[in-house]
Amino acid sequence: MHAAKPSGGLPFLPFARPTIDEPMVSAVADTLRSLWITTGPQVLAFEKALSEYHGGRPVRVFTSATAALEVALLTAGIGPGDEVIMPAQTFFSCANAISRTGARPVFVDVDPITRNMDLEATEAAINPRTKALMPTHFAGLPLDMDALYELAGDTDLRVIEDAALAIGSRWKGRRIGSFGDIASFSFHPNKNITTIEGGALVFADDTEAARCEPYRFHGITRNSDGTRDVTVLGGKYNMPDVNARLGIMQLARLDEFISRRQTLVARYFKQLHTDPPCVLPASGDSGHSWNFFAPLLPLNQITLSRKGVMDALQAAGIGSGISYEAVHLTSQYRKLGYQEGNFPHAERIARATLTLPLYPTLLESDVDRICDTLKSILHSAKR
């Protein structure tokens, strides 16, 4: 077989890239010049803007979405002896956050097309120790929210939505996070908007939002005389103003960024027809915010491994990633007794998934180049 030709003078295309313009750089610089760079007025303004974007619901921001998930669990009263059901096909942070509270993550399989948590399998996994459900909106595609909340209501369970990939996504016209229980968003550089690093929780009521605050700053509460007390085992998860200022600028352009992602994905669907064929992700509808685009490679029909395909793309100047490995097969979670064969759909996705470049500054011609290169690699490696 012949590998794809090198890209020559063409620019390298990473699989993810933040969109940061000069006004954003200037705004961050102004925040630095103000000398108030840790949590302060910009954090409050960012939380207010996020709240308005999500229909006025209370918002608290954090240093990362991982921290946000852990605080959400603690605020919901999850701890030792409890179980939280989550998909086996998602990022590791979800299981880690559950484990760090002392609770046990319970994995279930996913739908092979949407890659979202299988709700029938979820219902079957519920037992007296189950205290919460933690679904991931995979790649930004919302889970069936009607079915999710019907199940949670019938079983009296909390729902903590891992919406790290889904800010701006909609279910039946309503933004994820604008309804439901607790939603967690990520602002990592490869997400739909970025604060460099950061995350947020959107709550259903002000009382619970206030209850989370000590967990993000050392467990501290203020006494009436101005002295401090420590009421819970809190962490150090407060977002700096520098990050929040970038977040304010990014949020103002979120809908524009999502529209651009949707245009690029439409191009992928039009152009990415390989021989042998890849399995393309679920197209969703206009409510899908498309944080990433990840087809499944036809590995049983080619002579290359996934690593071989990724290396060939890299040689052609195209970056790629893996979204995601199966969480239950990591060394940490095999300790809980999980093994290969437990969740066939999640395992198949983990073996064959390939994340292709997708970000707002990508061009349609870049998508064509990516598709043509992948077509060439797969055709040349065809058995």
Say yes or no to pLDDT of 285 above 90.
no
Q: Cα dist. 80→102, 122, 129, 339 in Å?
A: 4, 21, 10, 23
Contact status, residue 294 vs residue 139, Cβ threshold 8 Å? yes
Residues 223 and 297 in one domain: no
CA dist., res. 109 & res. 89, Å (int): 7
Classify residue 4: in a domain, yes or no.
no
Q: Which pLDDT value is given to residue 356?
A: 98
Among residues 5, 131, 191, 382, the one annotated as catalytic is 191
Does 191 qualify as catalytic in the annotation?
yes
Q: Are 206 and 193 in contact (CB under 8 A)?
A: no
Strand order in the sheet with 199-202: 59-62, 199-202, 182-186, 158-162, 130-133, 83-87, 104-108
Give which of 163, 244, 236 is closest to 197, Cα–Cα: 244
CB 131 within 8 A of CB 150: no
Mean pLDDT for all residues in the chain:
96
Q: Check pLDDT > 70 for residue 2.
A: no
Domain membership of residue 334 (yes or no) is no
Cα–Cα distance for residue pair 377/75, rounded to 1 Å: 49
What is the reported pLDDT for 5? 47
Residue 336 lies in a domain: no
Residues 109 and 171 in one domain: yes
Contact criterion met (CB below 8 Å) for 86 and 110: no
Q: What CATH number is given to the structural domain containing 130?
A: 3.40.640.10
- Of 7-16, 53-62, 250-259, 374-383, which gets the smallest average pLDDT? 7-16
Mean pLDDT, to the nearest integer, of 41-66? 98
Phi/psi of residue 118, nearest 5 degrees: -75, 115
Confidence of residue 4 (pLDDT cuts 50, 70, 90): very low
Structure confidence by residue, pLDDT tens digits, 306-340: 999 999 999 999 999 999 999 999 999 999 999 99
261 in any annotated domain: yes
Residues 203 and 142 in one domain: yes
Tell me whether residue 271 is in a domain: yes
Q: What is the pLDDT averaged over residues 197-214?
A: 98
- Interatomic CA distance for residues 274 and 272, integer angstroms: 6
Spatial CA neighbour of 1 closest among 381, 276, 309: 381
Domain end: 229, 251, 273, which one? 251
**Last-in-domain residue among 251, 267, 293:** 251
Q: Does residue 62 form part of some domain?
A: yes
Q: By the 8 A CB rule, do 107 and 327 touch?
A: yes
What is the total residue count of the chain?
383
Tell me, yes or no, whether 64 and 152 share the same domain.
yes
Percent pLDDT > 70 in the chain is: 98
DSSP, collapsed to helix, strand or coil, labels residue 34 as: helix
Bond into 276 cis (ω within 30)? yes
Task: Looking at the structure, tell me whether residues 130 and 115 fall in a common domain.
Answer: yes
Instruction: Return the CATH number at 265.
Output: 3.90.1150.10
pLDDT, tens digit, for every residue of 71-118? Answer: 999 999 999 999 999 999 999 999 999 999 999 999 999 999 999 999
The pLDDT assigned to 8 comes to 67
Residues 78 and 198 in one domain: yes
DSSP codes of every residue in 91-127:
-HHHHHHHHHTT-EEEEE-B-TTT-SB-HHHHHHH--
Token digits of residue 78: 């999850």
Q: Which of 251, 271, 292 is the last residue of a domain?
A: 251
Q: Are residues 167 and 63 in the same domain?
A: yes
Give the global pTM. Answer: 0.96
Q: Classify 132 as helix, strand or coil.
A: strand
Q: Are residues 290 and 225 in the same domain?
A: no
- Beta-carbon contacts of 214 under 8 Å, excluding residues fewer than 6 positions away, are 220, 221, 230, 231, 232, 234
The verdict on residue 61 lying in a domain is yes
Range of the domain at 100: 22-251
142 in the same domain as 26 = yes
On the question of pLDDT at 6 being above 60, the answer is no
Q: How many domains is the chain partitioned into structurally?
A: 2
Q: Are 165 and 205 in a shared domain?
A: yes
Is 335 among the domain residues?
A: no
Phi, psi (degrees; rounded to nearest 5) at 89: -110, 90
For 279, counting Cβ atoms within 10 Å of its Cβ (0-12 exposed, 13-18 middle, 19+ buried), the class is middle
Q: What is the pLDDT of residue 283?
A: 86
Question: Under a CB-based contact definition with an 8 Å cutoff, are residues 198 and 247 in contact?
Answer: yes
Q: Is the pLDDT of residue 245 over 90?
A: yes
Question: Which pLDDT does position 9 carry in this prediction?
Answer: 84
Residues 145, 289 share a domain: no
Stretch 46-53: mean pLDDT: 98
Contact 252, 132 (CB under 8 A): no
SS3 at position 202: strand
- Does one domain contain both 208 and 303? no
